[in-house]
Copies of this chain bind each other. A is one copy, B any other.
Amino acid sequence: MSTSGLNMSRRIRRTPYTDRVETVGVRGFSVVNHMLLPKAFERTVEEDFLHLREQVQIWDVSCQRQVEISGPDAAKLVQWMTPRNISRMKLGQCFYLPITDENGGMINDPVLLKLAEEHFWLSIADSDVMLWAKGLALGRGLSVSVDEPDVSPLAVQGPKAADVLATIFGEGIRALGFFKYGFFEFEGTQQVIARTGYSRPGGYEVFLRGSHLGPALWDRIWEAGKPYGISPGCPNVPDRIEAGLLSYGNEFTRENNPLECGMEKYCTLDGSIDYIGRTAIERVAREGVKRQIRGVLFDGGRCPPCGKPWPVLAGDADGPQIGQITSAGWSPRLERNVGLSMIDRGYWEPGQKVTVLCADGVKRRGTVSALPFA
């Protein structure tokens, strides 16, 4: 039993940075892709929210495992897996995209990195996309290799992230466009660094190849970050809610299609490409979705952590249920609670009045909000 109370075992994999996050006082973990994700350090979520908006944080997000797809049929397999058209994707680009099953249900929402014409990484949320991709490839007899390489992303997020990383990797860091990546030298190796991340202020992710380099990378960033007030952190719930960044398994599951998730712009609906789930998604597009992801801004004092979904009712507490809050937290910026919920058609216009039935028994009044939050 660790200090976190989560039972530790080899099955719940440590990362190249776990020793370091323990040193700097990690107080809780979650498990993503069979791997530890730090969830709390010494500061409160609210303090972390404010720090992240103003300074810089280092996050162990190794649990964003890479699914490496390479070989002559690599692009063919990747395109088959997603409604997003990747035919014009260039080297150096990162594409956020839905991965869907034959019913249009969401299997994951990774960031795709195109490393070469026949070489891709899918930086995944919490499901075994490697098994999905490998099964598809094997079943169809595609000429590809599908594997999980020794790549452990380390995120540097916040407005001073560029300053910190430029100290180590040079001014080229500042030239990286949003959702672009480049190769940068570290200890004699070439490493991928992307301007991506799971926060509203944004920042970078170092896709470190080579676990043995993990402690050295952490230490270099930590040292370079000291003048900028660096602190250990992790994806911050109210921050990512405000940004409209969804979490697979929380806001959406295989029961949801990408149109419900607000991913219309990543769905090819004109028949110009073929992909798994196309027929189902085109049908949903014709008929319209029955519910869609929205923000909810609500009062009633700080809500508790959202450990299980909270019903969202239309209007007052006697209204019909129109959704469920699946992530929530107190926003120090808005000084109100923010949450995410699929909201039924007819009720999803911003400004719709709602009541949230929180687990603490308090009925909190609020309104539907567009995403990201204003």
Residue ranges of A at the interface with B (Cβ–Cβ < 8 Å) = 1-14, 27-31, 34, 39-40, 101-102, 107, 126-129, 131-142, 247-250, 276, 305-309, 326-327
CB atoms of A28 and B14 under 8 A apart = no
Given A4-B5, A5-B4, CB of A135 within 8 Å of CB of B128: no
Interface of A is mostly: loop
CB atoms of B7 and A126 under 8 A apart = no
Question: Which listed residue (B6, B9, B250) contacts A9, Cβ 8 A?
Answer: B250
- Nearest chain B CB to A148 CB, angstrom units: 8
9 contacting pairs across A/B (C-beta < 8 A): A4-B5, A5-B5, A6-B28, A9-B307, A102-B134, A127-B131, A132-B135, A136-B138, A137-B139
CB atoms of A28 and B8 under 8 A apart = no
User: In the assembled complex, which residues on chain B have CB atoms less than 8 Å from the CB atom of A107?
Assistant: 131
Query: For residue A139, which residue of chain B has the nearest CB?
Result: B139
- Counting from the closest, the 10 A-B pairs by CB-CB distance are A139-B139, A135-B135, A5-B5, A11-B249, A8-B307, A128-B128, A139-B140, A131-B132, A31-B31, A135-B136
CB atoms of A5 and B28 under 8 A apart = yes
CB atoms of B305 and A8 under 8 A apart = yes
User: In the assembled complex, which residues on chain B have CB atoms less than 8 Å from the CB atom of A128?
Assistant: 127-128, 131-132
Query: For residue A18, which residue of chain B has the nearest CB?
Result: B308
CB atoms of A9 and B132 under 8 A apart = no
- Nearest chain B CB to A347 CB, angstrom units: 21
CB atoms of A1 and B305 under 8 A apart = yes
User: In the assembled complex, which residues on chain B have CB atoms less than 8 Å from the CB atom of A29?
Assistant: 6-7
